[in-house]
Chain A
Amino acid sequence: MQFPTLEFAVFFTLCLTLTWALRSQRVLQKLVLLAASYYFYARIDLRFVTILAVSSVLNYVVGEGIARGRGPGARRAWLVIGVIVNLAMLAAFKYYAFFQDSLGDFLAYVGLPLRLPVLEILLPVGISFYTFQALSYIIDLYRGGRDRAQSWLDFLLYMAFFPKLLAGPICRARELLPQIAAPAPRSVPEVSRAATLILSGLFKKAVLATLIDTHLVAAAFDAPENYGAGALWMAMLGYSMQIYWDFSGYTDLALGLGLLLGFRLPQNFEHPYTATDISDFWRRWHITFSSWLRDYLFFPLATRWSAALRARMSLRRAALWGAQLAVLVTFVLCGLWHGAGWTFVLWGAYHGVLLFIHHGLRDGLRMRWNGGWLGRAGTFLLVSLGWVLFNSPDLASAMTYLKGMFAFGHAGNGFELLILLLIVVGVAMHIWGPRLRSLYVELSERMPWGVRPVVWFATGMVILAVKPSGIAPYIYFGF
């Protein structure tokens, strides 16, 4: 059951009704939301529910162990158990096949006949997101955070809340648990904004992302040897737009649906392609994930390595080199989080190197860069080149694609004018989109209440009218 379907509309309307009908009975309301979340997940695959439930229970127990632990040793032991269990689950479901295949190739290369058993493991949708969410919970508790789940029900709902279950946002305990623990709101917050977010998400995913995918991007990345250089450049830029519309469209839907249920989820995108440098990009792209990396990987690694280097160099240089090494490792792991494949690892390393260079120039050589439109264009181009690695099925295909982009005499298919128009629309939406959305919300708020749903429905019908047939699967569901 995916978001932009009639089946989901029926499910959500029922869920909305029960949620608000039970607002004076908060525990019952939370049980209904939890049951709805598990039902939503079970509609994708019943087996996934078991994995989510086990993860939730284990992390709740670990959290209680940390919170109640007597002494730092016990609390640390619980933290270590929690981190190992979470990473082991992620490794087993997501990385076993990659590890088995890579190790097998290496062993064959060096002439060793050992083989790891080949296992067919189905990747539970959303496991990367909710595992990282659980890790943030137990680590924050260990660090002395006060946002501890007040009950097992609160924690299970924190983990499973269906608007954000499949592809985030990754919610910190301080962002969501207090809302779950508090008495139910007496009224629905910002309905106009919620409706606008839902319509925006639908338009981005059902129209823009699907059009650009089906009219060039999917075919070009599937068989780049069939396309000319111009088309490959357009497909690269097209994929940059597609992944943004796909993922931010999902996030818009999640935020809008969350608001209608009385919950405010954190923002995940801040028009990232207007970033003036690579560091700025990562402050705007998948914000909840990049801040997770910053707080739980980058800062601890940078602090530890800076301290280790202190014996050999000045404080400033130690801090710089510690941070530089940490950013490289963090982004390789960032790539690996996105997918079990060498293309993802290389994509992460690519961003790590870009950040390494950027920090070296900014903090090491103290060069100042005001960015401007040149910075924006350059950053967009660098990020787009990285997406070629990200979206290619393997390294050979990525190399074929990149070579093809510079083979200007190569006979190949072209691209439709529609693609160019969609890319221009994408850039325009980055610049003017937030203002348009605010305007739509303001106009909605000025209308009489009886007129607003008619206007929202009419807007939805316009989106339906221009929607191409079919909807491509969400890209981030694969992570």
Chain B
Amino acid sequence: MHAAGIHTTPWRVLVAAWVVLAALMVVFAKEIDQWAITQRGGPMGPQLAAVSSSLRGAAQFSGVEAARGAVASAVLPLYDHGMVLAAGPAAASTVAAPPAAQSAGFATGQGKTVQVQQAGGGLYQPKNILILGASSIQEGLGTELERALEKYQGVSVTRFGQYSSGLARPDFFDWAAKLKELKAKVQPDLIIGQWGENDCQGQATRDGKAVARFGTPEWDSEYGQRVQEMVGIMREGGCHAAIIGIPNMRPKGFAKQVARLNKVTEDATVAAGGVFLSTWELTSDEHGDYLATVDVDGKNKLMRAGDGIHFSTYGAVYIASKLCEKLQQDFTFVPMSASGDN
């Protein structure tokens, strides 16, 4: 098994490994600093902050951070602006022209949500829906919600999800900027967003400065403002906004965090004039504890994945159908006819 090969003394390899590691830590100083923010409340928080600040200082002084940013700015857009081939004559998920009659008499945004009225009476009928969020929207629940909504007459859906993202860390992914970009491109009349599954952590500003630690009133206030900002952007120009809450979780500590986050999100959404679609009671038993299964048509089905956090395929379909039922309380959706005509 020990084939002939060139051998190197261990100390040379170790020196090289440590030098490479030190260089990597300077190159990745920004990411280390961002991680250190999330550890602020921990036992080694101050020490980590000191080390990460020093590394960040070294990276900025040596020009490495600026060079990385410049290279990323030059290279990454090349991946996103390429020519598209073989698109069909009217691609799915592209937007039809926005409906002429926007909602008249929309809620003032104070207190409870009010049902959205059309100019001619009755609830507003969305035609062009944009769904946004993190990994639950990128796949799973997002996919099934898109499929469920597209079963309604005249509805076209565009969906965008970004793994590991949320509102707490705009230095990692700026959702406000992305929302504006997508809204301008898609011109929806209803935007459904879901954030929070990755937000039970310290918040930071867009340039990576720590703002508030999770679990503090400051965090609640800051996050509430961010939700209001998002709903505000969604509602500009008469578009309607709905925010999906985060489901109950099996890890009890995480479940408590999510419950707190959901309260902040719901209050902020309603205050900004949006509709809040809770999934908590759909994923909890009568005691408010985590529920993994659901009985449908006499079958007991697993709704959640093995990690107790994500949905199973069946769970995503089930929750999507329940979300559509909830949306029917505030909007009009007309099922497709039996012939499937739109």
Contact = CB atoms under 8 A, between A and B. Distances in A.
Interface string B83-115: 111111111110000000000000000000000
Contacts of B338: none
Interface residues of A, number: 73
B324 to A, nearest CB: 17
Interface residues of B, number: 64
Nearest to B84: A414
Interface string B171-211: 00000000000000000000000000000000000000000
B164 A470 contact: yes
Contacts of A23: 10
Nearest to B32: A6
A292 interface: no
Interface in B131-175: 138-139, 143, 146-147, 163-164
A394 B1 CA distance: 43
A215 B13 contact: no
B284 interface: no
Contact of B293 (A113, A118, A234): A118
B50 interface: no
B16 A453 contact: yes
B100 to A, nearest CB: 24
Interface in B266-306: 292-293, 298-302, 304, 306
A101 B93 contact: no
A420 interface: yes
A411 B92 contact: yes
B10 A6 contact: no
A104 B143 CA distance: 26
Nearest to A174: B1
Contacts of B7: 185-190
A121 B14 contact: no
A192 B10 contact: no
A418 interface: yes
A412 interface: yes
Interface in A433-470: 445, 449, 452-453, 456-457, 460-461, 464-466, 468-470
Nearest to A394: B313
A311 interface: no
B10 A187 contact: yes
Interface stretch (B22-30, B219-227, B234-242, B254-262): B22-30
A464 B76 CA distance: 11
A423 to B, nearest CB: 12
Nearest to B18: A13
A10 B313 contact: no
A460 B20 CA distance: 10
B334 interface: no
B21 to A, nearest CB: 5
B76 A417 contact: no
A417 B163 CA distance: 24
Given A410-B88, A412-B92, A413-B87, A120 B75 contact: no
A9 interface: yes
Contact of B14 (A20, A218, A412, A417): A20
A260 B91 CA distance: 50
Contacts of A123: 306
B64 to A, nearest CB: 10
Contact of B84 (A6, A189, A394, A416): A416
A226 interface: yes
A122 interface: yes
A408 B135 CA distance: 31
A394 B12 CA distance: 51
Contacts of B143: 222-223
A285 B19 CA distance: 36
Nearest to B78: A418
B13 A457 contact: no
Contacts of A295: none
B20 A226 contact: no
Given A10-B21, A413-B93, A461 B83 contact: no
Main secondary structure of the interface of B (DSSP, over half): mixed
Given A413-B92, A449-B12, A470-B164, A108 B86 contact: no
A179 interface: yes
Contacts of A101: 301-302
Contacts of B302: 97, 101, 118, 120
B85 A230 contact: yes
A411 B88 contact: yes
Nearest to A452: B16
A55 to B, nearest CB: 18
A419 to B, nearest CB: 8
Nearest to A113: B298
A415 interface: yes
A69 to B, nearest CB: 28
Contacts of A193: 5
Given A211-B79, A411-B91, A416-B83, A465 B313 contact: no
Nearest to B144: A223
Contact of B24 (A9, A466, A468): A9
A179 B1 contact: yes
A17 to B, nearest CB: 6
Given A188-B10, A393-B313, A415 B292 contact: no
A187 B1 CA distance: 16
Contacts of B20: 453, 456-457, 460
A316 interface: no
B163 A470 contact: yes
Residue of A178, A189, A394 with most chain B CB atoms under a 10 A cut-off: A189
Contact of A411 (B90, B146, B306): B90
A225 interface: yes
A223 B139 CA distance: 9
A257 B61 CA distance: 33
A445 B7 CA distance: 11
A415 B86 CA distance: 7
A374 B210 CA distance: 59
Nearest to A119: B302
Given A190-B6, A225-B92, A412-B88, A121 B306 contact: yes
B308 interface: yes
A192 B71 CA distance: 28
Nearest to B17: A13
B250 A414 contact: no
B82 A416 contact: yes
A228 interface: yes
A225 B150 CA distance: 11
A191 interface: yes
A464 B24 CA distance: 11
Residue of B9, B13, B68 with most chain A CB atoms under a 10 A cut-off: B13
Residue of B27, B89, B138, B306 with most chain A CB atoms under a 10 A cut-off: B306
Given A97-B306, A413-B92, 7 more contacts: A6-B25, A120-B302, A189-B6, A193-B5, A211-B79, A218-B138, A260-B17
Query: Top 3 A-B pairs ranked by shortest CB distance?
Result: A230-B86, A414-B87, A187-B7
10 contacts: A13-B17, A13-B18, A104-B300, A189-B6, A191-B13, A228-B86, A264-B2, A411-B89, A417-B84, A465-B72
